Amino acid sequence: MKIVSVSGSQLKDMMLAAAASLNEHKSEIDAMNVFPVPDGDTGTNMSLTFLAAAREAEKAPDDDIGAVAKAVSGGSLRGARGNSGVILSQLFRGFAKGLEGLKTADSDDLTIAFRKAQETAYKAVMKPKEGTILTVARAMADRAAEVSYDTDDALFILKEAVKGGAAMLKRTPDMLPALKAAGVVDSGGYGLIALWTAAIRRLEGLDDDASAPLPAAAPKREIDFSALAHGGEITFGYCTEFFVHSEKPGEDMPQEAVAAFGEYLGSVGDSIVSVSDGDVLKVHVHTNHPGEVLEKALALGYLENLKIENMRVQHNEKIEWMEKAAEQPASEPETPEAPSGPAKAVGFVTVCAGDGFREIFEGLGADAVIEGGQTMNPSAADFLAAIESVSAEHIIIMPNNKNILLAAKQAAELAEGADVFVLPTASVPEGVSAMARYMPTDDFESVKGFMEGIIREVRTGQITYAVRDTTINGRKIKEGDALCIEGGEIKFVVRSSEDAARLMVNSMLERGGEVMSIYYGANISPETAEEVRAYAEGAHPGFEIDLYYGGQPVYDYYFAVE
Domain limits at 285?
238-310
Whether residues 21 and 111 share a domain: the answer is: yes
Domain end marker among 454, 476, 505:
454
Supply the CATH number for residue 249's domain.
Answer: 3.30.70
pLDDT by residue for the chain (562 residues), tens digit each?
899 999 999 999 999 999 988 988 888 888 787 666 655 578 888 988 998 899 899 899 999 999 999 999 999 988 888 888 889 999 999 999 999 999 999 999 999 999 999 999 998 887 788 999 999 999 999 999 999 998 999 999 999 999 999 999 999 999 988 888 778 899 999 999 999 999 999 999 886 443 334 443 333 333 222 222 223 345 677 768 777 888 777 777 888 888 888 888 888 887 676 666 567 777 767 788 888 888 888 888 888 767 676 654 432 322 233 333 334 343 333 444 545 555 688 999 999 988 889 989 988 889 999 987 655 788 888 899 999 999 999 999 999 988 888 889 999 988 887 799 999 999 999 999 888 888 777 788 888 888 898 898 899 999 988 877 887 777 888 888 999 998 778 899 998 989 999 999 999 999 888 899 999 998 899 999 999 999 999 999 989 999 999 998 888 999 999 8
Number of domains in the chain: 4
The Cα 178–Cα 172 span in angstroms is 10
Whether residues 444 and 335 share a domain: the answer is: yes
Q: Three-state SS for 416?
A: coil
Whether residues 30 and 178 share a domain: the answer is: yes
Whether residues 471 and 375 share a domain: the answer is: no
Supply the CATH number for residue 438's domain.
Answer: 3.40.50.510
Domain end marker among 290, 310, 330:
310
- Quick check: is 348 in a domain? yes
Whether residues 465 and 374 share a domain: the answer is: no
Whether residues 56 and 22 share a domain: the answer is: yes
Alpha-carbon torsion, ordered 520, 523, 526, 532, to 10 deg: -50
The Cα 288–Cα 267 span in angstroms is 11
* Phi-psi group of 301: left, alpha or beta (phi > 0 → left; psi -120 to 50 → alpha; rest → beta): left
The Cα 139–Cα 78 span in angstroms is 27
DSSP label at 218?
P
Whether residues 181 and 57 share a domain: the answer is: yes
Domain end marker among 181, 204, 227:
204
Within 10 Å of residue 245's Cβ, how many Cβ atoms? 15
- Quick check: is 223 in a domain? no
Give the per-residue SS3 of 418-444: CEEEECCCCCHHHHHHHHHCCCCCCCH
Element (H, E) at 309: strand 302-310
Whether residues 466 and 367 share a domain: the answer is: no
Q: Are 306 and 278 in contact (CB under 8 A)?
A: no
Supply the CATH number for residue 521's domain.
Answer: 3.30.1180.10
Whether residues 419 and 273 share a domain: the answer is: no
Whether residues 181 and 33 share a domain: the answer is: yes
Residues 390, 391, 395, 396, CA torsion sign: negative
- Quick check: is 218 in a domain? no
The Cα 379–Cα 377 span in angstroms is 6
* Burial class of residue 260 in the structure, from the number of CB atoms within 10 Å of its CB (0-12 exposed, 13-18 middle, 19+ buried): middle
- Quick check: is 374 in a domain? yes
- Quick check: is 400 in a domain? yes
Whether residues 64 and 185 share a domain: the answer is: yes
Element (H, E) at 396: strand 392-398
- Quick check: is 220 in a domain? no
